[in-house]
Amino acid sequence: MHVRKTGARCRCGCTSRRPEEKWVVGLVNTPVGDVPQVSTHLTLRDTLGRWRVRWGISRDRYLVKPGLYAVGSPGPDDIVLVTANYKCSFDALRRELEGLDAWILVLDTKGINVWCAAGKGTFGTEELVGRIEASSLRNVVAHHTLILPQLGASGVAAHEVKSLTGFRVVYGPIRATELRRFLEAGLKADPSMRLVSFSLADRLAVTPVELVGALRHMPHAVAILALGTLLTPMTALAGFYALLTLTGTMLIGTVLIPVLLPWLPFRSFSLKGWLVGLLWAMLVAWLSGADVLGWIAALLLLPAIVAFFALNFTGATPVTSQTGVNREISLFARPMLIAAVIGIVSSVASLW
């Protein structure tokens, strides 16, 4: 198929590339029109973009326009890989395709990664079927095979896709880094390719966005403590110590819990957080020389906060299910709230 550089206009009359899409390097001519050709090289801009969204900055706007893309100079017999339009997912895939000719079909997952989108239904059967039709894929390729990421399996009914479009769904490996080996093995995955891992590096990679989310609550905490120094016998120094305690509690819930996750007892994330929070509360109460009400406040409020952050971390892991998370929320959300309220009341009462 014919390939030309960007800068011309597509047959539809639109510009071939928006200024921010530096990763589009050309156009591949197909029977249905020009398809953007993407680079397999990640630039500094891509790396900085990934870092930015890891810290929760413009996270909801880091996406790729859904549709069909080309890597190399693919023809009608080359593979079709399906991914989400979250740009980090898209980048992780194209980076592993150096030297290959392939088509990439990008689904509209609202800027959400494959695993989360599959759970939410945006990386799903309906979207896949609709995207196949919208891209006129059957007129671009001569075969009827789609390679989907393994983590998207929960959202796609392969038999329905086959029935509605004629395309057969093959699930690739968990990680894009294993894709080349998967292709060389004739689309066969060995057990290691199906194994979901969540190493320390993986966990640390997703903690920044959790930390930033927690930091958004700090101005409210500062305002409440400042108000407390005006309306209660709490001194400014005591308010400062309380702020340090809350900061430590937040860091434990958003950073320490993810780091220690595999080694903490209990299957429930909330119970893991509650245990660590309880140990932290005992240390805080002991070091501060708290009275009885102070101990009650610490033992109820601080574990509840850590447990809340730990429960929130379920949304950043590939080892939980939607059903399990819903069950955990139903079991622990109310006890967390009750404990926190009693802890706050005890804390105020101890000041008097």
Nearest to 139 by CA among 335, 20, 1, 309: 1
d(CA 132, CA 151): 20
* Residue 214, pLDDT score: 87
Burial label for 197, CB within 10 Å (0-12, 13-18, 19+), is exposed
Closest CA to 33 of 69, 64, 82: 69
Q: Quick one: pLDDT band at residue 195, thresholds 50, 70, 90?
A: confident
How distant is the alpha carbon of residue 302 from its chain centre?
A: 27
Q: Which of 127-141, 193-207, 226-240 has the least mean pLDDT?
A: 226-240
Give the integer Cα–Cα distance in Å for 274 and 88.
Answer: 33
Say which DSSP state 30 is in: E
Query: How many C-beta atoms lie closer than 10 Å to residue 344's C-beta?
Result: 15
Edge to edge, the sheet with strand 145-148 lists 3-5, 24-30, 33-38, 67-71, 102-107, 80-84, 145-148, 168-171
Q: Which fold has domain 3-194?
A: Rossmann fold (3.40.50)
Each residue's pLDDT tens digit, 167-192: 999 999 999 999 999 999 999 988 88
DSSP structural state of residue 18: -
Res 15 pLDDT > 50: no
pLDDT of residue 3: 57
Question: So what's the pLDDT on residue 79?
Answer: 96
**Mean predicted confidence (pLDDT) in 308-313:** 92
Question: Using CA atoms, how far apart are residues 296 and 276, in angstroms rounded to an integer?
Answer: 16
Residue 9: what pLDDT?
Answer: 39
Residues of the chain with CATH 3.40.50.11600: 3-194
CB 156 within 8 A of CB 133: no
Q: What is the pLDDT of residue 13?
A: 32
What is the Cα–Cα distance from 57 to 139, expressed in whole angstroms? 39
Indicate the pLDDT class of residue 14, thresholds 50, 70 and 90. very low
CB 158, CB 169: distance < 8 Å: yes
Give CA torsion, residues 307, 309, 315, 318, to 10 deg. -70
Selection from 311, 318, 320, 315 nearest residue 115 by Cα: 318
Q: Any residues with CB less than 8 A from the CB of 352 and at least 6 apart, and which?
A: 232, 233
Nearest Cα residue to 21 out of 122, 117, 113, 91: 91
Range in 4-8, 107-111, 239-243 with the lowest mean pLDDT = 4-8
pLDDT of residue 301: 94
Task: Identify whether the C-beta of residue 319 lies closer than 8 Å to the C-beta of residue 310.
Answer: no
Pair 162, 168: CB distance under 8 Å: yes
Tell me the range of 53-67, 167-181, 211-225 where mean pLDDT is highest.
Answer: 167-181
CA–centroid distance for 19 within its chain: 26
Question: Residue 115: pLDDT above 90?
Answer: no
Q: Are strands 102-107 and 67-71 parallel, antiparallel or unpaired?
A: antiparallel
pLDDT over 60 (residue 7): no
For range 91-99, the mean pLDDT: 96
Q: What is the average pLDDT across 37-51?
A: 93
Cβ atoms of 43 and 23 closer than 8 Å: yes
Average pLDDT score over the chain: 88
Distance CA 82, CA 169 (A): 10
